[in-house]
Amino acid sequence: MILQELFGWFGDPAHWQGPDGVPNRMLEHLGYTLLSVFGAAAIAIPLGLYVGHSGRGGVVLVGLSNAMRALPTLGLVTFLFLIAGGSEAGTIVGLIVLAVPPILAGTYSGVQDTDRGVVDAARGMGMTGWQRLWQVEVPNALPLLMGGLRNAALQVVATASVAAYVGLGGLGRLLLDGLRVIDYSKVLAGALFIALLAVLLDLVLAGLQRIIVPRGLRVAAAAVAGRPKARSSGRTES
Partner 1 sequence: MIEFQAVTKRFDDGTTAVDNLDMVVEAGTITVFVGPSGCGKTTSLRMVNRMIEPTSGTVLVDGEDIRKSNPALLRRRIGYVIQQAGLFPHRTVLDNVATVPLLSGWTRRKARARAAELLETVGLDAAMGKRYPSQLSGGQQQRVGVARALAADPPVLLMDEPFSAVDPVVREGLQDELLRLQADLDKTIVFVTHDIDEAVRIGEKVAVFRKGGVLAQYAAPAELLSNPADDFVSSFVGKDRGYRGLSFLQADGIQLGGVSTMGLHGEHLSGERPSTVGGPDWTLVLDDDGRPRGWLPPGVVIQGEPAEEDLRPGGSLYTEGTALRGALDAALSSPSGLGVVVDDAGRYTGVVTAQQVIDLIEERRKDAA
Query: What is the closest distance, in whole angstroms, from the C-beta atom of residue 110 to partner 1 in the complex?
Result: 12
Segment interacting with partner 1, rule: CB under 8 A, options 26-34, 99-107, 133-141, 177-185: 133-141
Instruction: Work out whether 225 is an interface residue with partner 1 (CB under 8 A).
Output: no
Angstrom distance (rounded) from CA 196 to CA 190: 10
Instruction: Work out whether 238 is an interface residue with partner 1 (CB under 8 A).
Output: yes
Q: Site for partner 1 (CB under 8 A): which residue of 31, 39, 58, 139?
A: 139
User: How far, CA to CA in Å, does 62 sit from each of 1, 95, 104, 148, 212?
Assistant: 49, 19, 9, 14, 27
Q: Give the amino acid at 69.
A: R
Instruction: Work out whether 39 is an interface residue with partner 1 (CB under 8 A).
Output: no
Site string for partner 1, 8-27 (x = CB under 8 A): --------------------
- Sequential DSSP letters for 143-200: HHHHHHHHHHHHHHHHHGGGGGGGT--STHHHHHHHHHTT-HHHHHHHHHHHHHHHHH
Query: What is the closest distance, in whole angstroms, from the C-beta atom of residue 140 to partner 1 in the complex?
Result: 6
Q: Checking phi first, is residue 52 left (phi over 0); if not, alpha (psi -120 to 50) or beta? A: alpha
* Residue 192: how many other CB atoms lie within 10 Å: 14
Instruction: Work out whether 219 is an interface residue with partner 1 (CB under 8 A).
Output: yes
Residue 39 vs 139, nearer CB to partner 1? 139
Segment interacting with partner 1, rule: CB under 8 A, options 58-66, 88-96, 134-142, 167-175: 134-142
Q: Site for partner 1 (CB under 8 A): which residue of 56, 210, 231, 235?
A: 235
H-only helix segments in 22-163: 22-54, 58-70, 73-83, 88-112, 116-124, 129-132, 138-159
Q: Site for partner 1 (CB under 8 A): which residue of 60, 118, 203, 212?
A: 118
Instruction: Work out whether 226 is an interface residue with partner 1 (CB under 8 A).
Output: no
DSSP 14: G
What 3-state DSSP class applies to 227?
coil
Instruction: Work out whether 31 is an interface residue with partner 1 (CB under 8 A).
Output: no
Calculate the dihedral angle through the C-alpha atoms of 133, 134, 137, 140, rounding to the nearest 10 degrees. Answer: 180
Segment interacting with partner 1, rule: CB under 8 A, options 2-10, 128-136, 151-159, 168-176: 128-136
Instruction: Work out whether 121 is an interface residue with partner 1 (CB under 8 A).
Output: yes
Residue ranges in contact with partner 1 by CB under 8 A? 115, 117-118, 120-128, 131, 136, 139-140, 214-217, 219-220, 223-224, 229, 232-236, 238
